[in-house]
Amino acid sequence: MFELLQEQPKDKILALMQMYRADTRTEKIDLGVGVYKNADGHTPIMRAVKKAEQSWWGQEDTKAYVGLAGDPAFSDVMIDLVLGDAVSRDKVAAVATPGGTGAVRQAFELIQMANPKARVFVSDPTWPNHLSILKHLGIETMRYRYFDSESGGVNFDGMLEDLNEVRAGDVVLLHGCCHNPTGANLTLPEWDAVIALLNDKGVTPMIDIAYQGFGEGLEADAAGTRAVVAGCPEVLIAASCSKNFGIYRERTGLLMGVYHDASRTSLIQANLAHLNRQNYSFPPDHGARLVTLVLQDPDLRADWESELEEVRKGMLDLRALLSNELQGLSGSDRFGFVAQHRGMFSRLGLTPEKVEELRERHAIYMIGDSRINIAGLNAQTVPILAKAIIEVGA
């Protein structure tokens, strides 16, 4: 049987991660995978998370299974964090998943179970793993224009024009905030226009929200998702705790299914739990437990929020620094969008050849589409990156 297996396409992000690790140059700069790093290049455990972990170590007295949907308290705190009061709790079905990717995967499978003919519309570009999972599941995928590489902003007219092609029963995948890979995001009036179009066409929105708190702040970053939930009859939301709680390897996420008629919530809940059972049975608990402890304890929560703000503001400072540096060296505002973008990423608009040259000549690693992880920089490396970008003639 194994001789029948074929090579699988390489994941661009993970392949770059390996190349970076294998590079022996000491001056190398990693702007690849979306993992937060402080100025020393370290991904710290957040203070509140560490305290919650210490306290849980003392309290935990069993490793028995929790439940197919995970701990309901985790669902409650996360629904509150992501959806606020946009919808009443009885209209939300939710299951814990292994990371945000687990939630995305389960959402796609639910779509396929509910309507095998549904097509999923994704932004062009989107996180490569969206495309890869959709392909793996054999779900027909359509792209809608999203990024204007000239301005570095959203091509909103193009987006609406392409979304006009949706049919009733299709699904439109939207990034809740901090668009990955571009860093360009919808304004609230644009969210409203998208909601009106989706309702008009009878399609289901699905939201991937993996960077809440990294853009404009915890509340502002959830505003688009909340508007969709308040304005559309049904919504799927995949939320990740990897980045905003810094618990990447704990694999902690939540899939939510919101439906306007609360009498169907238990059916949706049962389907989500069934999917968990088929795929991995019980979701991991440790990360979910830490998130619950942090969000339920006022002191831990306040400390987490303040550390998250430090992280967010640090990335904004780096954006301003890089944009200024590039302006000074290029004598133009060409890269002004870097300061406007929000979240962990910006797409610089460099050709794959320039990206390769930056890697080979300058040991600067970014994804081939010129996505950079802003948090991979610090005050010392910003000028190095800016100089290298200008040197390769980008």
Question: Is 321:379 a contact under the CB 8 Å cutoff?
Answer: yes
Q: Cα separations (Å) of 104 from 67, 127, 147, 183, 255?
A: 20, 11, 22, 20, 8
Per-position x/- string for 117-156, each x denoting binding to ligand LMR as judged by CB under 6 A, each - no binding: ----------x-x---------------------------
Total residues contacting ligand LMR (rule CB under 6 A)?
6
34 or 125: whose CB is closer to ligand LMR?
34
Instruction: Give every CB contact of residue 344 below 8 A, 6+ residues apart in sequence.
Output: 34, 36, 178, 180, 183, 211, 214, 243, 315, 373, 374, 375
Instruction: Tell the smallest beta-carbon distance from residue 181 to ligand LMR (Å).
Output: 7
User: For residue 149, with 0-12 CB atoms within 10 Å meaning exposed, 13-18 middle and 19 or more buried, which class applies?
Assistant: middle
Q: Which residue is nearest to ligand LMR (CB)?
A: 34
Instruction: Tell the smallest beta-carbon distance from residue 86 to ligand LMR (Å).
Output: 25
CA distance 150 to 111: 35
DSSP state of 358: H
Instruction: Tell the smallest beta-carbon distance from residue 132 to ligand LMR (Å).
Output: 10
323 or 373: whose CB is closer to ligand LMR?
373
Instruction: Tell the smallest beta-carbon distance from residue 236 to ligand LMR (Å).
Output: 18
What part of residues 170-189 is at the interface with ligand LMR (CB under 6 A)?
180
13 or 232: whose CB is closer to ligand LMR?
13
180 or 271: whose CB is closer to ligand LMR?
180
> Is 315 a binder of ligand LMR (CB under 6 A)?
no
The position carrying tokens 């993992």 is 35
Instruction: Tell the smallest beta-carbon distance from residue 303 to ligand LMR (Å).
Output: 25
Identify the active-site residue in 127, 162, 221, 363: 127
Q: Which residues pair with 123 in a beta bridge?
A: 144
Instruction: Tell the smallest beta-carbon distance from residue 5 to ligand LMR (Å).
Output: 23
Report the SS3 class of residue 12.
helix
Instruction: Tell the smallest beta-carbon distance from residue 330 to ligand LMR (Å).
Output: 27
CA distance 323 to 282: 45
Enumerate the H helices of the chain as residue ranges. 12-22, 47-59, 72-83, 99-114, 128-137, 156-163, 188-201, 218-231, 265-279, 286-296, 298-330, 337-340, 352-362, 381-391
Q: Cα separations (Å) of 247 from 6, 203, 356?
A: 33, 33, 31
Identify the active-site residue in 94, 118, 184, 210: 210
Residue 230: active-site member: no
Q: Which tokens hold the place of 50?
A: 């560490």
Residue 85: active-site member: no
Residue 127: active-site member: yes
Among 16, 34, 77, 250, binds ligand LMR (CB under 6 A): 34
What part of residues 75-114 is at the interface with ligand LMR (CB under 6 A)?
none
CA distance 149 to 158: 12
Instruction: Give every CB contact of residue 211 below 8 A, 6+ residues apart in sequence.
Output: 176, 177, 178, 180, 221, 240, 243, 244, 343, 344
30 or 170: whose CB is closer to ligand LMR?
30
The one-letter amino acid code at 259 reads: Y
213 or 269: whose CB is closer to ligand LMR?
213
Instruction: Tell the smallest beta-carbon distance from residue 183 to ligand LMR (Å).
Output: 12
CA distance 86 to 264: 18
104 or 163: whose CB is closer to ligand LMR?
104
Residue 91: active-site member: no
33 or 230: whose CB is closer to ligand LMR?
33
Identify the active-site residue in 69, 91, 184, 243: 243
Among 33, 142, 160, 273, binds ligand LMR (CB under 6 A): 33
The position carrying tokens 């929790």 is 66
Active site residues: 127, 208, 210, 243
Site residues (CB under 6 A) for ligand LMR? 13, 33-34, 127, 129, 180
